[in-house]
Amino acid sequence: NASSVKEFILLGLSENQRVQKIWFVVFLLFYITTVVGNLLIVITVISSQLLNSPMYFFLSYLSFVDICYSSVTAPKMIADFLVEYKTISLVGCMAQLFGVHFFGCTEIFILTVMAYDRYLAICRPLHYTTLMTRRVCGQLVMASWVGGFVHSLVQTLLITHLPFCGPNKVDHYFCDVHPLLQLACTSTYLVGIIVVANSGMITLTSFLILVTSYVVILVTLRSETSEGRHKALSTCGSHITVVILFFGPCTFIYIRPSSRLSEDKSVAVFYTLITPMLNPLIYTLRNAEVKSAMRKLW
């Protein structure tokens, strides 16, 4: 590998020193809220006897992944608001790239698994307990982790094989595929296509599976009683909200070829920090069982 670049300079979200000080406080609060909120959900689900259905099993994993996911980018970004030169070593950069894709992709798969769980619970209620056993739940979560790992490994290997010999300014606040492709000293057309095919296909396919499952669920609900419909919609409603918040920005970034869009950074803030922060709120505010379990616990 002919990389002569040993470290990259992250340009961050803004070059304005005053804005950076404000953002330091804002994002620090965001990050603390993300970690505390998601930890609360993990602890509540683990320690509550009420929340033992597969839905909450998956929710606790989603919260755990959210903590890891935002921790790959947020602490570095927050610390960088206080320094002038935001450097990151080549190894650190690749590790960050791997982490972002590993946890981000695992999150996508867990959200898809959660939609499948809701589909079975609402559309096949009589078979639900035989189909969704503890073992199956464990296997689905395991498959999500493995899928995320494989996806991330592919992305990271594609980038580590590129030579970086000249410019080392990454126009982003963390190391991601598109900003790094622009710095390579070789044609990245093919790698760019593979990256879009890999990330884009995973995002789009999962999104289509999710949308389809919810359409089927909504059609099935038409024959339910209004009380049953309300209960099902409240659990699905929170899930649909999270899916839209997470997949919208992700699809925007990864479904198109590499380009120098300045909006990319602000869109990325949305799915690396804001969605993981909102998840616990969305799930607890719309879910009576989680709320009562939290009250009991505390």
Residue 165 has pLDDT above 60, yes or no: yes
How many structural domains compose the chain? 1
In a domain, 12, yes or no: yes
- What's the rounded Cα separation, in Å, for the pair 78 and 31? 9
Question: In 10 A of CB 84, how many CB atoms?
Answer: 8
In a domain, 267, yes or no: yes
Predicted confidence (pLDDT) per residue in 53-70, tens digit: 898 999 999 999 999 999
In a domain, 2, yes or no: no
In a domain, 139, yes or no: yes
Pairing label, strands 7-10, 87-89? antiparallel
- What's the rounded Cα separation, in Å, for the pair 164 and 161? 9
Domain residues for the domain of 195 are 7-297
**Residue 270 DSSP symbol:** I
pLDDT at residue 262, rounded to an integer: 63
Predicted confidence (pLDDT) per residue in 76-135, tens digit: 999 998 888 889 998 999 999 999 999 999 999 999 999 899 889 888 888 898 999 999
Closest CA to 242 of 292, 207, 216: 207
Stated as kind and residue range, the H or E segment containing 7 is strand 7-10
Measured CA angle at 292 (ends 287, 295), to 5 deg: 130
Average pLDDT over residues 25-37: 94
Average pLDDT over residues 191-214: 84
Residue with tokens 């969305």: 282
In a domain, 1, yes or no: no
Q: Report the phi/psi class of residue 24: left, alpha or beta, with left for phi > 0 and alpha for psi in -120 to 50.
A: alpha
Closest CA to 174 of 2, 1, 27, 16: 27
Average pLDDT over residues 179-186: 85
Q: Report the phi/psi class of residue 12: left, alpha or beta, with left for phi > 0 and alpha for psi in -120 to 50.
A: left
Residue 227 has pLDDT above 90, yes or no: no
In a domain, 120, yes or no: yes
Two tokens, residue 53:
């259905």
**Residue 39 DSSP symbol:** H
Closest CA to 216 of 84, 122, 101: 122
In a domain, 164, yes or no: yes
Length of the chain: 298
Q: What CATH code is carried by the domain that includes residue 49?
A: 1.20.1070.10
* pLDDT band at residue 6 using 50, 70 and 90 as cut-offs: confident
**Listed range (14-18, 158-162, 180-184, 215-219) with the worst mean pLDDT:** 14-18
In three-state form (DSSP H/G/I as H, E/B as E, the rest C), the secondary structure along 190-236 is HHHHHHHHHHHHHHHHHHHHHHHHHHHHHHHHCCCCHHHHHHHHHHH
pTM to 2 decimal places: 0.89
In a domain, 81, yes or no: yes
- What's the rounded Cα separation, in Å, for the pair 108 and 96? 18
